[in-house]
Amino acid sequence: MGSGLPDGVISAADALERLREGNRRFAAGLRSMEVLATHTRRADLLAGQRPFAIVLGCSDSRVPAEIVFDQGLGDLFVIRVAGNVVAPSQVGSVEFAATRYDTRLVVVLGHSQCGAIAATLEELSQPSATRSRNLRSIVNRIRPSVETLLATELRHDPAALARQAVRANVHASVDHLRHGSEVLEDLAAGSGLRIVGAEYSLETGLVEFHDDEAAAH
C-alpha cells in the first residue's frame, strides 16, 4: 500500500475525507447508492466489523452520525451521550474501538442548539436544586469549558454565547481524549490516530471540522 498501514486500515486523512464527502451529500439531499445498499451487507458483517471512524456525539435525536455523514452499516463506531461529554466510559469506548478495530480517526461531534449546553448555561445563571444528581453530573462536565465565557462580553449576547459554548465544549472533549488516555496518546504518537472536533449545524445540515484539529497529527 505504501502508507505503512495494515491491510484494510483506512488512514485518518482518508477517513476524514470520507466523512466530509458524506456530509456534503447529506446536506445536498443526496444519498450514496453504496450506502443505500448496505442492508444487503448484514450477513457479511456477522463475521466482524471494521469501522473507519469513531464518532463521539450528542444524544440529540436530530444528530444521528450515520445519517449526517451518509454512512452505512459497519462504517462508524458511534458513542452518543448528552452534550458529547467525556467520562471514563466514553474514553474506554474510544480506546476499545481504536485498539480492537484499528480505527485511526476519532471525531467529537457537537451541534448547534444543544440542550445540554443550554442546561449548563441555565445552571450557571440560575442554579437549580431540583436537577437530578445524574443530570447534574453532565452539567458539571460541561461547566468548566463554558464558565469562563460568562466573564466576557458574550454574556450580553445569548445566541453568540451558546454558539461559543458549543465550540468550547467540543474543544474540551477533544483535549480530554488527547491527553486523558495513555492508550490514545500512544496510538496518536505511533499509529497515526487523530482526534478532531467538529460541529453540526441543525440549520444547514453541514458539519464544520475545526481546522486546527483536523490538520493536527
> Tens digits of per-residue pLDDT, 162-180?
999 999 999 999 999 999 9
Q: CA-based angle 29:35:36, to the nearest 5? A: 75
**What percent of the chain is predicted at pLDDT more than 70?**
94
Return d(Cα 195, Cα 191) in angstroms, integer: 12
216: phi > 0 → left, psi -120 to 50 → alpha, else beta; which? beta
Q: Which of 71, 65, 94 is nearest to 18 (CA)?
A: 71
Query: For domain 12-111+168-214, which CATH number applies: 1.10.10.10, 3.40.50.150, 3.20.20.70, 3.40.1050.10?
Result: 3.40.1050.10
Confidence of residue 2 (pLDDT cuts 50, 70, 90): very low
Mean pLDDT, the chain, as a whole number? Answer: 92
Instruction: Assess whether pLDDT exceeds 70 at residue 217.
Output: no
The HSE-up count of residue 207 (CA atoms within 13 Å, CB side) is 30
Taking the model in full, what pTM does it have? 0.91
**What percent of the chain is predicted at pLDDT more than 90?**
77
Instruction: Assess whether pLDDT exceeds 90 at residue 3.
Output: no
Distances (CA, A) of 155 to 39, 167, 202: 48, 16, 23
Q: Can you read off the three cell numbers belonging to residue 80?
A: 452518543
Q: Where are the domains of the chain?
A: 12-111+168-214
